[in-house]
Amino acid sequence: MAASLRYLAQQNPEWSFVLVGATSPHAEIGGDNSGAVASSNVHFLEPKSTPEISAYPQHFDVCIMPYQNDDYTKFIYPLKLHEYLATGRPTVGTPIQSLHEFADVVALPMSPRSMVGSNQGGLRPEANTEETRIRRQAVARRYDWELIVLRIAKAIAEAIGKEVFRSAREGPGSNGETKASLASHSSRPLSLCAICSGRREDPHLINANRLKIPS
């Protein structure tokens, strides 16, 4: 990130680059920020709480993710992406693997030089129309944490339910378990409600407190 940020700052001294949050605790990464810190138009703000940090993107003109495209970033997923899209602001990143599916709402320039052009494009009025803001925010809504947790909970509950009911229909298995013993095991409370944001009333969760097998 530091190399790209340093290039952007040097090429655009009239822009202010604001980074909110803690720097990396890993010396091999954090130590590379020295050149960027030396730029007068790069501002590293101190760590903020989650509620505080989420209030910043709405004041940005362009939200950027200037990652290096390497073996490390090949396996990361920038959660800040959805914070950015939720504001409706233009967003620019590097073409790391996890961002490819968002190419319709995130500009993915191939080099620091082309990133300058993408940032300039994000400052233009046509990048900030009501239509473009709505499109970005619509993507962000699909990744709302409550919806993600609910989808995970439903998938787990449905998978467990199918397996339990299949075992019950088949009767004793190769390990000698009977329907009664399966029912006994399945009546143990499951921790599904803990990952459902308390939505125990959802019928798709079968029963968030217990799974029952018909007698």
- What pLDDT does 24 receive? 66
Q: Which residues in the chain are classed under CATH 3.40.50.2000?
A: 2-141
- What pLDDT does 3 receive? 80
Burial 78-104 (b: 16+ CB within 10 A, else e): eebbbbbbbbbbbbbbbebeebeebee
CA proximity to 5, closest of 120, 116, 117: 116
CA 46 to chain centre: 22
Euclidean distance between CA atoms 45 and 192, whole angstroms: 38
Number of Cβ within 10 Å of residue 153's Cβ equals 21
Is there a contact between 56 and 82 (Cβ–Cβ < 8 Å)? Answer: no
Q: What is the pLDDT of residues 159-210, one digit of tens each?
A: 887 776 566 566 554 444 433 333 333 443 322 222 222 333 433 333 333 3
Quick check: helix, strand or coil at residue 65?
A: strand
Q: What is the pLDDT of residues 95-150, one digit of tens each?
A: 999 999 999 999 999 998 999 999 999 999 999 999 999 999 999 999 988 888 88
Using CB atoms within 10 A of its CB, is residue 39 exposed (0-12), middle (13-18) or buried (19+)? middle
Task: Pick 68 or 33 by higher pLDDT.
Answer: 68
CATH 3.40.50.2000 correct for 2-141: yes
Burial 181-210 (b: 16+ CB within 10 A, else e): ebbeebeeebebbeebeebeeeeebbebee
Euclidean distance between CA atoms 81 and 122, whole angstroms: 16
